Structure 1
């Protein structure tokens, strides 16, 4: 049995909240997809991706197939309006960049290879979410939308803090601030709505900037009153053994960050790193 390396968030989430982020370790991929590539849209063989997804489910003993989304760097969350009606698994495969649920056994997942995966739960352990946050999603307000969905608040201004319950957030492996170079238009997009985010950008070359994606996420969360933010310590670009990186390699695989609510809160699966 293949036992891939997993990263388990080191955060004070309720016992029934299960969360992991994969590395490229393990799996059956070869070449540029070597290891545990979970992306079915990047040119890898369908058979290899299917096998890797089966390895993931078996290793983590997932309660159901993860709800693989068609991510488009947008601002839509599957299942955000209410508890998922009918079959809670019906939003798998839809076009969205995140998913939220309060249904036990439903596995929310996002794929990344430099963008920021964000996992969220409430302090009561009744609601979880997974978000794919590239710079476009961050600038468009996907974290504000996720926090609103997690708090069950409708019609709230993005600047109003969530007061109904505590939200815990974990930031997964992401391209680091020394490697993520962007054009001036990206910097201006963030400064338009938050001039103080200028601290997340450093001058690079030819009028370009190095951006701190995790730092931008932390700032946006803080503006919403969400301060219990963990993780963000792994750089995908600088660790080719452990992580896929689109900026580094171009054609490459994808990692996955998963979260779900367990029915009984038993001990989590072993063999994971803590971050």
Structure 2
């Protein structure tokens, strides 16, 4: 599943090229998770604004006398966005479910499993978008996200710390790979009950979350199966992982075998010597 770094890398790969473009046509393929909420032909003639990201959602604002609002996009489990020059992309295939053709190029959503979404909303704060964004925690690079915020958000929670990070209601972006890596850097056992994390350890974990996500962004995200940005470039963070995907291999710090367990139906990788409860 594309996580925050992959979604941000995707945004960066096409946002500047499409900003200011005029929409020539919009096309819908097979139904996605939610309906568009607007007749696709009504987007014709709209001008595209600055593309933003909130959590794992992308917001593509469009404006014209009527309608004015934007498209909230989610890549689902296996979706991807591609942006190509006019006439380069070719005909839509069976898994291409949304096209936004502009005078600067074609933005195309490909999603074999159709768990992704393209939803029209009059604004980010309007009901259609606000309902989907409700409950999202702080962005990891928000100056308000620190050890105090993390510690307060975890207070009283009995769920394992790794699952608390994945929930996304305290901080967004710590997906499975990045939660494993951040917990390793902070020396925290992923099985620790979230409410038992001390304030000093919460400070270390908050720094580790920011550091891992920044490293992932620099690496273009992670490509475990088929993730590529809007220009077809794969990520390489998986090659830098310290514990994720390294079951049975020696820990890069102490040499102990990296363990794998399952938490909430997700694989968790950790070093039982370096990470303490």
Q: What TM-score comes out, normalization by structure 2 length?
A: 0.22
Relative CO higher for 1 or 2, CA cutoff 8 Å, sep ≥ 6?
Answer: 1
Structure with the greater alpha carbon radius of gyration: 2
Q: Determine which structure has the larger helix proportion and give its number.
A: 2
Q: What TM-score comes out, normalization by structure 1 length?
A: 0.22
